[in-house]
Amino acid sequence: MVYEFKLPDVGEGLTEAEILKWFVAPGDVVSDGQVVCEVETAKAAVELPIPFDGVVRELRFAEGTTVDVGQVIITVGGAGESAPEPAAEVEAVEAVEAEEPQGRQPVLVGYGVAESSTKRRARKDDSARGVVPTRSAPGGPAAHNGEGAAAAFTTVTNGTAAPTTVVSNGTTIPRPLAKPPVRKLAKDLGVDLATVTPSGPDGIITREDVHAAVEPAPEPEAAVQEAAPAPVTADARETRVPVKGVRKATAQAMVGSAFTAPHVTEFVTVDVTRTMKLVEELKADKEMQGLRVNPLLLVAKALLVAIKRNPDVSAAWDEANQEIVQKHYVNLGIAAATPRGLIVPNIKDAHAKTLPQLAEALGALVSTAREGKTSPAAMQGGTVTITNVGVFGVDTGTPILNPGESAILAVGAIKPQPWVHKGKVKPRQVTTLALSFDHRLVDGELGSKVLADVAAILEQPKRLITWA
């Protein structure tokens, strides 16, 4: 008896996902609820648990492959069956580690995200494996992200599938045999495993084989001197990066937002010297020890107070019913750039949180985003967003609304500037704020009041007490 685990819909109506990482290999024993792989949808990276016990027989797709929802991604034999032979275990999948860009940490920003280096791999034809499903079992476990998505699986009785192979130019060739750490090493060193001579048992490539492959060949200098310069082609002057996953979803959402909601952006430059002093005092406060305390925290609190004073700004446009949906809560979005692209998770019911609670939630949001573990649920239901473009030294910008939201506040760089203070020109900590809003929901007066209130609080942070 062989069970087939199909890729579930881990989001709301998503049609495909990319396999980022396998946590099991052929021959491993798995149990019901065990996480077997991590996939990336258009919204987030999600870990998938398997819904039955048994022994892994085959991984149908390699890491980096984009798979349609409903396709079989892993097969598992009954718990009493023996594991596949070692050679088959190595051949079952080319486990190439996804290489994350180095030298850059995800930060809270609006745009300018890092590129992902994950490569798309060719999809495999399930029919070539001779798989004949005989019955489908309904349901399955809830997705690991808490979304409650069901994982579909099928039972088959046709025996073990053939070892995975690579198809190149229409020719089927065996995969080089190597363990995942060795494949990762080869990728880091730029070595094609197909060109490496194996020295391990059963023809398995070892780490030593990979290192030997990058050693200088005999008379390398002469070879370089005699070789003619490679001609510069049009392909060599350009690089095409497939648009997929989070980046693809972001592009579609931004286009839809820009051409659906009539954007208006207003700006204000404000002296935030007192706010910066308050940040330093809060860092030393024992009630805030261990929490994330920075200017963004106070900007977030200022925006929440401004929304409380102007509640009509928290709304959404219902096109189907031609209604304005007023929201009596604030799910505060924080735009974050990650190696996989721009994401906007939000802090649920941020309006009801104290300053320490808001700091704790902000810290958890940032840590989760950096680890690439933000769930689809965390990015749904936002009402307004903050984007901190100042971390790049940018003074301000005209941010695009997150789809379905009424406003987005851009925070520029905070830096010393000459400023008239108490009748004299003095160096003060100054920043520029930009508020974009949907003019169907927010007219000029309301938008101006919200922006002016945020600026007033940051100029005189004691208003956090008097206005709250």
Every domain of the chain and the residues it spans? 2-104+118-175, 245-466
Q: Which has the higher per-residue pLDDT, 152 or 240? A: 240
Contact 61, 98 (CB under 8 A): no
The pLDDT, as a whole number, for residue 112 is 37
Q: For 147-158, what is each residue's pLDDT tens digit?
A: 333 333 333 333
pLDDT tens, 330-342?
Answer: 999 999 887 777 8
Range 211-228 average pLDDT: 48
CATH topology of domain 2-104+118-175: OB fold (Dihydrolipoamide Acetyltransferase, E2P) (2.40.50)
What contacts 406, CB < 8 A, 6 or more positions away? Answer: 313, 314, 315, 316, 383, 384, 437, 438, 441, 442
Q: Is 44 in contact with 375 (CB distance < 8 Å)?
A: yes
CA distance 398 to 68: 36
What is the rounded CA–CA span in Å between residue 449 and residue 310?
Answer: 8
CA distance 16 to 164: 21
Structure token pair of residue 420: 């008239």
What is the distance between the alpha carbons of residues 426 and 451, in angstroms, rounded to a whole number?
Answer: 25
Q: What is the pLDDT of residues 75-112, one digit of tens each?
A: 998 765 554 444 333 333 333 333 444 444 444 443 33
pLDDT, averaged across the chain: 76
Specify the DSSP element, H or E, that contains 303: helix 295-309
Summarize the confidence of residues 206-221 as an average pLDDT: 62
Query: Would you give the DSSP letter of residue 196?
Result: P
Query: What's the rounded Cα separation, in Å, for the pair 152 and 148?
Result: 13
Q: Dig out the tokens for 421 from the structure.
A: 């203070």
Residue matched to tokens 């379905």: 404
Please say whether the dihedral angle defined by the alpha carbons of residues 265, 268, 273 and 275, taken in this order, is positive or negative.
negative
Give the residue-averaged pLDDT of 292-307.
96
3-class secondary structure, 436: strand
- The region of weakest confidence among 45-59, 84-98, 355-369 is 84-98
CA-based Rg of the chain, rounded to a whole angstrom? Answer: 27
Would the pLDDT of 421 be above 90?
yes
Scanning the structure block, which residue is given the tokens 């030294």? 393
Which of 88-102, 202-216, 291-305 shows the lowest mean pLDDT across its residues? 88-102
Angle at 276 between CA 275 and CA 281, to 5 degrees: 95
Q: Are 86 and 60 in contact (CB under 8 A)?
A: no
Residue 143's pLDDT band (boundaries 50, 70, 90)? very low
Q: Average pLDDT of 213-229?
A: 45
CA nearest neighbour of 140 among 38, 1, 7: 7
Query: Which pLDDT does position 24 carry in this prediction?
Result: 93
Residue found by looking up tokens 């500037």 in the block? 417
Q: How confident is the model at residue 362 (pLDDT cuts 50, 70, 90)?
A: very high
CATH of 245-466, one of 3.30.559.10, 3.40.190.10, 1.20.140.10, 3.50.50.60: 3.30.559.10
The per-residue pLDDT for 145 is 36
| Least reliable range by pLDDT among 111-120, 189-198, 354-363, 405-414 | 111-120
Give me the pLDDT at residue 211, please.
74
Question: What's the mean pLDDT in 247-256?
Answer: 75
Residues whose CB falls within 8 Å of the CB of residue 122, separated by 6 or more in sequence, listed in order: 65, 167
**Does the structure show a pLDDT above 90 at 380?**
no
Say which range, 131-145, 250-264, 360-374, has the weakest mean pLDDT: 131-145
**More confident of the two residues 405 and 220:** 405
Residue type, position 203, single letter: G
Question: According to the per-residue pLDDT averaged within each range, which of 9-13, 257-261, 445-449 is highest?
Answer: 445-449
| Residue 35 contacts residue 85 (beta carbons within 8 Å) | no
User: Is the per-residue pLDDT at 396 higher than 60?
Assistant: yes
| Residues labelled catalytic | 439
Taking residues 347-366, report their average pLDDT. Answer: 94
Given this model, what pLDDT does residue 215 score?
55
CB atoms under 10 Å from CB of 13, counted, come to 6
CA angle 211, 215, 216 (to 5 degrees): 170
Residue type, 63: E
Tokens 């989001």 belong to residue: 11
| Helix, strand, or coil (residue 279) | helix
